[in-house]
């Protein structure tokens, strides 16, 4: 930001907003500045906990006038730590978490500070669902603005693919609504282009009839069966019907008796259809192709399934992630996945292979900024550990694995699965993420809606 000649005044800011403002070293400051990634230790000048849309626009104006960097926070889960900033203002939307369901129109309006748990809790009683991510404390805002992958990506697409309207605080401190008919160019950019264009105050989604109970499960494989399991997935995922989504995780489990201490490959699946018999038949086919060592399969309440993986990634762990698309599970790729899988420790690293296609792939490539709708698989390599002394080794593992996969990448990266790159290292490259055509289009929108790059604490389109 350009330095302001006026020294910012905390009492001035307090006088302008209704929400709580916490300054450096005031009571509650450490809790107010903390984000999910424990490696991100930034000291903002102030944290504003917005009490309404008026606080959002007023804080935008204040940061602009004072020449302070502005970080915007929804759920605080951004892996690169973009929900906070040194010496600037954090605009925390956590108090704004209402979710209003319109069952007859099948739409859901979500305030921008809501978590995924808030959304699922509100939609489930209506037999509806919005496709979102898999860890319930994640913020709907960062998730949706980047894309939003989860257990319902194949039947219904990304969270962003179901987004019909965004209410936004703009760079000049005003408000607007972006939809297909109002500011359509901005609306396009908000479907995967991240937090570059304004502060979203609410999102309106299309919802789908759903559950509340779902056929879900995990097939577990020990390392000596991994090759067979990956090869079976290559085959099995070729012609699956849309309702079947899988996320295959390889991790070394925590040292609890029932799982032992060997690394595991876990094929997780969710079958989003009331036709349980077809779902059962599909899973039986996978069992025949690669018999698992163990399994946990059955009907689960959707909200239980959506929080089943929460304990794996609690707030405060240190984290560094990278991701890539790829198209084949042949011998060369399987070699890498098997070798890297057995090198993992607990707590340290894990990786997920999201199997795509279905509704995700039917969205035309140019319809959103999200890259590479043709990708068959998306790999997310995620480091998560407790001790600062492990930083170097864990980061090196994630980078090494990601470099191994580079020859097989089919294009694009997912901003929401990107960690913070230390300065001097190959950092966020918007052309590599979005591709040159979409990057140029995003740049055009950025120039129109935020020409001074006020919103730059994000995966920045500068
Ligand atoms: P925050 O840190 O609050 O914000 C992140 C960034 O989003 C901010 O810098 C800002 O640029 C932008 N932003 C936030 N709020 C607003 C707003 N109101 N207006 C404008 N910009 C805003 N992703 C998936 O797709 N699927 C998953 O299943 C999934 N699981 C995850 C599990 C864990 C444990 C974690 C840590 C992350 C996961 N992610 C997943 C990635 C997640 O989508 C991103 O980390 C996302 O940025 C989190 O959003 P947030 O609102 O919690 O983040």
pLDDT digit string (tens) for 337-359?
999 999 999 899 999 999 999 99
Q: Is the CB of 168 under 6 A from ligand 1?
A: no
CATH code for position 326: 3.40.462.20
Q: Quick check: 319 pLDDT over 80? A: yes
- Tell me: do 76 and 87 sit in the same domain: yes
Residue 241, both tokens: 């019907």
What pTM value is reported for the model? 0.97
- Tell me: do 386 and 249 sit in the same domain: yes
Atom of ligand 1 at shortest distance to CA of 113?
A: 18
What Rg, from alpha-carbon coordinates, does the chain have?
22
Protein residue with least CA distance to atom 49, ligand 1? 142
pLDDT value of residue 365? 98
Read off the pLDDT of residues 65-86 as tens digits, 9 standing for 90 and up.
999 999 999 999 999 999 999 9
Determine contact, residues 371/350, Cβ cutoff 8 Å. no
Q: Is the CB of 194 under 6 A from ligand 1?
A: yes
Q: Which residue from 99, 88, 103 is spatially nearest to 44, judged by alpha carbons? A: 88
CATH code for position 127: 3.30.465.10
CB atoms within 10 A of CB 30: 10
pLDDT value of residue 455? 98
Distance CA(450)–CA(118), nearest Å, equals 30
In a domain, 108, yes or no: yes
Q: Is the CB of 132 under 6 A from ligand 1?
A: no
CATH code for position 17: 3.30.43.10
Domain C-terminal end among 159, 186, 210: 210
46: left (phi over 0), alpha (psi -120 to 50) or beta: beta
Atom of ligand 1 at shortest distance to CA of 417?
A: 41
Q: Is the CB of 80 under 6 A from ligand 1?
A: no
Q: Quick check: 1 pLDDT over 80? A: no
Q: Is the CB of 141 under 6 A from ligand 1?
A: yes
Pocket test for ligand 1, best of 32, 49, 73 (most atoms within 8 A of CB): 73
pLDDT value of residue 257? 53
Q: Is the CB of 329 under 6 A from ligand 1?
A: no
Domain C-terminal end among 164, 194, 210: 210
CB atoms within 10 A of CB 389: 8
- Tell me: do 272 and 150 sit in the same domain: no
- Tell me: do 236 and 382 sit in the same domain: yes
Distance from the CA of 77 to the center of ligand 1, in angstroms?
5
In a domain, 443, yes or no: no
pLDDT value of residue 66? 97
Domain C-terminal end among 417, 435, 456: 417
Protein residue with least CA distance to atom 40, ligand 1? 133
Distance from the CA of 101 to the center of ligand 1, in angstroms?
22
In a domain, 85, yes or no: yes
pLDDT value of residue 4? 53
Q: Please give the mean pLDDT across all residues of the chain.
A: 95
pLDDT value of residue 339? 98
Residue 83, both tokens: 């929900």
Read off the pLDDT of residues 262-302 as tens digits, 9 standing for 90 and up.
899 999 999 999 999 999 999 999 999 999 999 999 999 99
Looking at per-residue pLDDT, the higher value among 2 and 366 belongs to 366
pLDDT value of residue 425? 58
pLDDT value of residue 426? 60
pLDDT value of residue 423? 63
Pocket test for ligand 1, best of 77, 89, 153 (most atoms within 8 A of CB): 77
Read off the pLDDT of residues 80-131 as tens digits, 9 standing for 90 and up.
999 999 999 999 999 999 999 999 999 999 999 999 999 999 999 999 999 9
In a domain, 439, yes or no: no
pLDDT value of residue 428? 82
- Tell me: do 161 and 303 sit in the same domain: no
- For residue 42, give its domain range: 10-92
Read off the pLDDT of residues 19-35 as tens digits, 9 standing for 90 and up.
999 999 899 999 999 99
pLDDT value of residue 389? 97
- Tell me: do 202 and 219 sit in the same domain: no
Q: Quick check: 210 pLDDT over 60? A: yes
In a domain, 386, yes or no: yes
Q: Is the CB of 70 under 6 A from ligand 1?
A: no
In a domain, 440, yes or no: no
Read off the pLDDT of residues 130-167 as tens digits, 9 standing for 90 and up.
999 999 999 999 999 999 999 999 999 999 999 999 99
- Tell me: do 18 and 83 sit in the same domain: yes
pLDDT value of residue 424? 53
What is the sign of the dihedral through the CA atoms of 129, 155, 107 and 18? Answer: positive
- Tell me: do 221 and 315 sit in the same domain: yes
- Tell me: do 147 and 59 sit in the same domain: no
In a domain, 235, yes or no: yes
135 DSSP assignment? S
Mean pLDDT over 235-261 rounds to: 89
Protein residue with least CA distance to atom 31, ligand 1? 135
- Tell me: do 270 and 354 sit in the same domain: yes
Distance from the CA of 416 to the center of ligand 1, in angstroms?
6
Distance from the CA of 236 to the center of ligand 1, in angstroms?
31
- Tell me: do 273 and 191 sit in the same domain: no
Q: Is the CB of 159 under 6 A from ligand 1?
A: no
In a domain, 330, yes or no: yes
pLDDT value of residue 42? 97
pLDDT value of residue 255? 76
Q: Which residue from 89, 99, 100, 98 is spatially nearest to 17, judged by alpha carbons? A: 89
Distance CA(447)–CA(155), nearest Å, equals 35
pLDDT value of residue 7? 73
Backbone angles phi, psi at 82, to 5 degrees: -75, 0
pLDDT value of residue 421? 82
The total of structural domains in the chain comes to: 3
Backbone angles phi, psi at 425, to 5 degrees: -100, 155
- Tell me: do 219 and 325 sit in the same domain: yes
């Amino acid at each position: 930001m350009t330095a302001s000649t006026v020294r910012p005044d905390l009492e001035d800011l307090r006088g302008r907003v209704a929400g709580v403002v916490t300054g450096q070293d005031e009571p509650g400051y450490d809790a107010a500045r903390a984000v999910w990634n424990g490696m991100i230790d930034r000291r903002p000048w102030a944290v504003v906990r917005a009490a309404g849309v008026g606080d959002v626009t007023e804080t935008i104006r204040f940061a602009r006038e004072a020449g302070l960097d502005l970080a915007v926070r929804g759920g605080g889960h951004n892996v690169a730590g973009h929900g906070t900033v040194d010496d600037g203002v954090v605009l925390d939307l956590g108090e704004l978490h209402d979710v209003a369901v319109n069952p007859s129109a099948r739409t859901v309006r979500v305030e921008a500070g809501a978590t995924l748990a808030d959304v699922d809790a509100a939609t489930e009683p209506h037999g509806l669902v919005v496709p979102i991510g898999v860890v319930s404390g994640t913020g709907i805002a960062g998730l949706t603005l980047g894309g939003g992958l989860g257990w319902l990506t194949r039947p219904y697409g990304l969270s962003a693919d179901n987004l019909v309207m965004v209410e936004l605080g703009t760079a000049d401190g005003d408000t607007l609504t972006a939809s297909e008919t109002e500011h359509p160019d901005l609306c396009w950019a908000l479907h995967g282009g991240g937090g570059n264009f304004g502060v979203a105050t609410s999102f309106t989604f299309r919802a789908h009839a759903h559950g509340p109970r779902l056929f879900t499960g995990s097939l577990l494989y020990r390392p000596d069966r991994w090759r067979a399991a990956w090869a079976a997935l290559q085959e099995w995922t070729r012609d699956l019907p849309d309702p079947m989504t899988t996320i295959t995780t390889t991790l070394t489990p925590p040292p609890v008796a029932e799982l032992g201490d060997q690394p595991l490959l876990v094929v997780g699946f969710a079958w989003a259809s009331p036709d349980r018999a077809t779902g059962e038949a599909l899973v039986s086919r996978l069992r025949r192709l690669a018999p698992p060592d163990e399994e946990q399969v059955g009907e689960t309440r959707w909200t239980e399934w959506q929080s089943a993986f929460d304990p794996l990634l609690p707030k405060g762990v240190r984290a560094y992630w990278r991701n890539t698309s790829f198209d084949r599970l042949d011998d060369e790729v399987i070699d890498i996945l098997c070798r890297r899988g057995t090198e993992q420790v607990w707590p340290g690293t894990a990786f997920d292979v999201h199997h795509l296609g279905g509704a995700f792939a039917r969205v035309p490539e140019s319809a959103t900024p999200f890259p590479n709708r043709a990708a068959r698989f998306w790999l997310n390599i995620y480091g998560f550990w407790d001790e600062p002394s492990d930083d170097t080794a864990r980061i090196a593992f994630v980078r090494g694995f990601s470099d191994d996969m580079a020859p097989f990448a089919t294009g694009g990266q997912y901003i929401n699965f990107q960690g913070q790159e230390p300065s001097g290292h190959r950092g966020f490259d918007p052309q590599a993420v979005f591709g040159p055509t979409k990057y140029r289009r995003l740049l055009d929108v950025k120039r129109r809606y935020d020409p001074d790059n006020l919103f730059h604490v994000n995966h920045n389109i500068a």
